[in-house]
Structure 1
Amino acid sequence: MSAAKAITPDVLVVGGGPAGLSAATTLRELGVDKVVLLERDTVVGGIPRHCGHSPFGMREFRRILSGTRYAARLEARARDRGVEILTRHSVLSVGDGVVRAVSPDGPSEFRPRRILLATGTREASRAARLVSGERPLGILNTAALQAYVHLEKLAPFRRPVIVGTELVAMSAILTCLSGGIRPAAVIEANADPTARFPFWLLPRLLGIPVHYRTEIGAINGKDRVQEVVARSQAGELGIDCDGVLLTGAFTPESALARLGGLAIDQGSGGPVVDAFGRTRDGAIFAAGNLLRPVETAGWCWAEARRIAGSIARDLEGGLPPRRASIPIRTGAGIKLVVPQEIDSKEIDRVDLPRALPELQLRFSERLRGTLTLSAGDSVLWSRRITSAPERRILIPTAHLAIPPAATELTLQVVQSKAL
């Protein structure tokens, strides 16, 4: 094998989705000289480039675009600003200030001043969902469906059962319709849809049966899927179909962060970060859906712009050193919080804007009560709340009166109960 090429950019961005492209573009706009973006696929754009439907682009371009056109615009803007985009580059390792990658041209070694991980998220596989049954053709996730329909112009099935009601499931339904595919049913394990109103109305408006409190029990079929056995408290239901589409149940694509020895948060599945988007390795930042599953493309784009601002400031010596910050613990029913650490000494500095100015949290179940953020017996913030799983909840961190002696903060729902 030939010797690795040594490259020394100011910032190396790993991942070419909306977050990575946004951050790289912003870094160049802020005057960072050499910004290199690595993408393992042949084309940048991330998940949106597989989406032939709208709406994308309102925050970024002030117009409604299909995902494919949106991704192309993000790439064009990045190249126009001078970002060096290297596709077909698979990163093998990140650590000790060195990023090692391989491409069809051979191995490369990057020694950037700062690293931004924007490796995104992925849907849970059949194995991760513990779905039993036979192994016929026709079992896909949303990304594979979108690649078939929008990129290959193929229909992998005609009457699939869709598992899940997250926003991505609604996207999958639109993809099915554009490919002449008519879903046979939608299955949701919870009592309510995960997607917000009015998005969850889509299958109902299209006349697609939706079964709540129902799980996929088994998949039957020899060469191809022929039946899904759906299980609920009412018993078993056989649904004739020719495919199964597994949607949602996202998890951050955090393999590189784990291999690099970064601290991983058990709730989000992504790296532990502070309010500037820094991991505990002060030279490595993280952005986008690596931080938590899953946010919209527009949210990731805007958040990554702010994190890019933190990186540019850090290159100029404008960020305080990464030090042991106050960890944020979560109580029952709270799935995750981002960031997971906060520095009370920097919280009110108006000259030091935080890339993550709010605590972003999600519930793992439907809860009602008083959401509180406290330091010991001192309540710093509280609000009455009723929220379903996976809804975005934001707590502003500006002007929190954190006691100087605080060693941790606690988020919990007081007197909560399942609805």
Structure 2
Amino acid sequence: MSLPRETDILVIGAGPAGLAAATVLAPSARVLVLDRETSAGGIPRHCGHYPFGLREFRRLLKGPAYAQTLVRRAQAAGVHVATGVNVVSLLPGPRVAVTSNAGITEIDAKLVLLATGVRESSRAQRLIGGEKPGGVMSTGALQGLVYLEGRRPFRRPVILGTELVSFSAIMTCAHAGIRPVAMIEPDPRVTARWPAAVYPHLKGIPLHLSTVITSIEGRERVERVVIKGPKGESTIEADGVIVSGRFRPEATLLDGSDLIRDPATGGPVIDSFGRCSDPSYFAAGNLLRPVETAGWSWAEGVAVGQAMRAALAGRLPQGDTYEVKLIGEALDWVVPQRVTGPDAVAFDRLQLRVTRSVAGRLTVKVGGSEYASRRIDTRPERRITVPLPPRAGAVEIVLEEE
């Protein structure tokens, strides 16, 4: 497969955000989408369950059908999708270096969109001790084995985490005839919103809150999991562990580039048009923060694609941007990190998260004056949004805990 040496728009990542932006841009530009996987569609193609597609297509789809629909619509719009291509560096210009079965090459573009998504934290990143037997994997790895390869890697696993993806793991297990023996959550409350919290009970899966996995034991395969909770230490007999959630942006490409990375999210710093610190690069989707739904990422891709179309036509404002500052120990990150003036923008809301369960008053100030204020009661990994201020100026988001 040969790749073009130059294009108008280069999109890195063929998930919901990248394909949505590409579809928006294709009628007015040459658009090339690159993805390192052998098939396009992103994470949803691994998720053989509902619900996908209501926001985008007004119909309920399973993940693979949703991914296929995204790809078909992009290609019908004229987008060239190339899979099995690894991007190895981002260069000024913009220009990117890639490797594929055709060898090493560089591609010049007028604008580049980064939409490389996220990955789950590993067992090592969570500092879980014990032996290193087989049968410990992320939700994504489980979905790949079950839906793409038709395999059943275990029969009685423990699930670590209660984010939305953790409940997706339960659905994947049910599809493969796997019966989880426990669900473990370090926080005193379930992370995902109601009614997700009742799902383990409906499936007969014991839910252990305020509990951590202290070690995983077994020789060739997982044999047992040692947990520590309110009643002390105990052992659960199991043959696998699903380490779910705690997502991190897939942002390794930023390491060797000139683009500024946000230390809080791990993704790139952007303004309210989705522009990175080098304005020839844009970003959208879960690369920006861990983690949002496929539908949210798709909508973000559409909005940033429209901003890129304006930039291509020379109609995107080039004025000053202003920093968004977080004040409050429990505030974790905000996207976008910089805002523009009152012009039409891709991000019409500021999105933020907290590091722990917290209740209090969230106040937004612009240029020192209060713009909006409301009470919040939330947990980590739950979406918090506030309207983007309609006037220019430095923004402060202040959380006063109760």
**In the alignment, what sits opposite 2:363?**
372
Cα distance in 1 between the residues matched to 2:389 and 2:380: 26
Structure 1 residue 11 and structure 2 residue 2: aligned? no
**In the alignment, what sits opposite 2:315?**
318
1:136 Cα deviation from its structure 2 partner = 0.5
Write out per-residue CA displacement over residues 18-70 of structure 1, whole angstroms, 9 at most, x where no aligned residue.
Answer: 11111111111xx3221000000100111100011111011111111110111
SS of 1:79's equivalent in the other structure is helix
Q: Is the 2:335–2:352 Cα contact (8 Å) retained in structure 1?
A: yes
1:257 Cα deviation from its structure 2 partner = 2.1
**In the alignment, what sits opposite 1:411?**
397
SS of 1:394's equivalent in the other structure is strand
1:398 Cα deviation from its structure 2 partner = 4.2
Q: Is the 2:335–2:350 Cα contact (8 Å) retained in structure 1?
A: yes
Cα distance in 1 between the residues matched to 2:327 and 2:111: 30
What one-letter code is carried by the residue in structure 1 that aligns with 2:36?
Answer: R
Structure 1 residue 223 and structure 2 residue 220: aligned? yes
Q: Is the 1:282–1:322 Cα contact (8 Å) retained in structure 2?
A: no
CA gap of 1:327–1:361, structure 2 versus 1, over 3 A, is: closer
1:328 Cα deviation from its structure 2 partner = 2.7
Q: How does 1:306-385 map to 2 (within 5 A)?
A: 306-321=303-318, 323-343=320-340, 346-347=341-342, 349=343, 353-375=344-366, 377-385=368-376
1:393 Cα deviation from its structure 2 partner = 1.1
- Equivalent pairs, count: 400
1:370 Cα deviation from its structure 2 partner = 1.2
Cα distance in 2 between the residues matched to 1:123 and 1:5: 31
What one-letter code is carried by the residue in structure 1 that aligns with 2:370?
Answer: V
**In the alignment, what sits opposite 2:378?**
387
1:356 Cα deviation from its structure 2 partner = 0.4
Unaligned runs of 5+ in 2: none
Q: Is the 2:217–2:224 Cα contact (8 Å) retained in structure 1?
A: yes
Write out per-residue CA displacement over residues 99-151 of structure 1, whole angstroms, 9 at most, x where no aligned residue.
Answer: 01000111221100000000000000111000100010100101110011001
Write out per-residue CA displacement over residues 191-214 of structure 1, whole angstroms, 9 at most, x where no aligned residue.
Answer: 001111112211111110000000
TM (norm. structure 1) is 0.93
Cα distance in 1 between the residues matched to 2:34 and 2:4: 14
1:244 Cα deviation from its structure 2 partner = 0.4
**In the alignment, what sits opposite 1:21?**
19
1:364 Cα deviation from its structure 2 partner = 1.4
CA gap of 1:33–1:378, structure 2 versus 1, over 3 A, is: closer
Cα distance in 2 between the residues matched to 1:161 and 1:330: 38
SS of 2:72's equivalent in the other structure is helix
What one-letter code is carried by the residue in structure 1 that aligns with 2:380?
Answer: P
Cα distance in 1 between the residues matched to 2:279 and 2:312: 11
Cα distance in 2 between the residues matched to 1:412 and 1:239: 43
Cα distance in 2 between the residues matched to 1:5 and 1:55: 35
Q: Is the 1:374–1:409 Cα contact (8 Å) retained in structure 2?
A: yes
Q: Is the 1:5–1:107 Cα contact (8 Å) retained in structure 2?
A: no
Q: Is the 2:366–2:389 Cα contact (8 Å) retained in structure 1?
A: no
CA gap of 1:147–1:337, structure 2 versus 1, over 3 A, is: same
Cα distance in 2 between the residues matched to 1:369 and 1:242: 42
Q: Is the 2:36–2:84 Cα contact (8 Å) retained in structure 1?
A: yes
Cα distance in 1 between the residues matched to 2:219 and 2:180: 20
Structure 1 residue 109 and structure 2 residue 100: aligned? no
What one-letter code is carried by the residue in structure 2 that aligns with 1:208?
Answer: I
Q: Is the 1:188–1:214 Cα contact (8 Å) retained in structure 2?
A: yes
TM (norm. structure 2) is 0.96
Q: How does 1:292-307 map to 2 (within 5 A)?
A: 292-307=289-304
Unaligned runs of 5+ in 1: none
SS of 1:311's equivalent in the other structure is helix
SS of 2:299's equivalent in the other structure is helix
